[in-house]
Structure 1
Amino acid sequence: MTTFKEYEGDIVNKYENFKATFHIDAKDNTDLVCWTIEYERPNEDLPELISLMEFIVSLIKAVDDHHVNMN
């Protein structure tokens, strides 16, 4: 399990208590990756971080494709 805590930058300038965690569970011959992103919106005017989640999903798919094509 790895946790990333953001201390400066665009995200923490807008959102509070940003933290991203991922862990890998190995079951049989399959590795399952779970991402958790925690943050607080100081007000309802700020959007949810959907674009960040979409980026993470596309990144994980690219890594998976790379590993599949290596074999």
Structure 2
Amino acid sequence: MLTLKEFEGDLVNKYDNFKATLHIETKYDIDLISWTIEYERPNENVPELVNLLDFIIGMTKAIDDHHVN
């Protein structure tokens, strides 16, 4: 398990309490990967982190494709 907490930068300037957790578990020779992203929007005008989620999904798929080959 790996937990990342943002202390400065764009995410901290827009969102409160940002934290991302990567959890990898192996069952029956299969690696299961779970990402959890926790954050608070200070108000409804601040967008959800859909672009970050898309990036994490793409990165995880690219790593998986690399390891399969």
Amino acid corresponding to residue 30 of structure 1 in structure 2:
I
| Superposed CA offset, 1:13-32 (max 9, x none) | 00000000011111001010
In the superposition, the TM-score normalised over structure 2's length comes to 0.98
- What SS does the aligned partner of 1:45 have? coil
| Superposed CA offset, 1:32-70 (max 9, x none) | 00000000000000110000000000000110111111x
| C-alpha distance in 2 between matches for 1:23 and 1:53 | 15
In the superposition, the TM-score normalised over structure 1's length comes to 0.95
2:62 paired residue number: 62
| C-alpha distance in 1 between matches for 2:58 and 2:41 | 24
Query: Matched residues, percent identical?
Result: 65
Hey, which bits of structure 1, 4+ residues long, moved more than 6 A?
Answer: none
| C-alpha distance in 2 between matches for 1:8 and 1:64 | 30
Q: Which runs of 5+ in 1 are unaligned?
A: none
1:48 paired residue number: 48
Q: Which runs of 5+ in 2 are unaligned?
A: none
| C-alpha distance in 2 between matches for 1:59 and 1:22 | 13
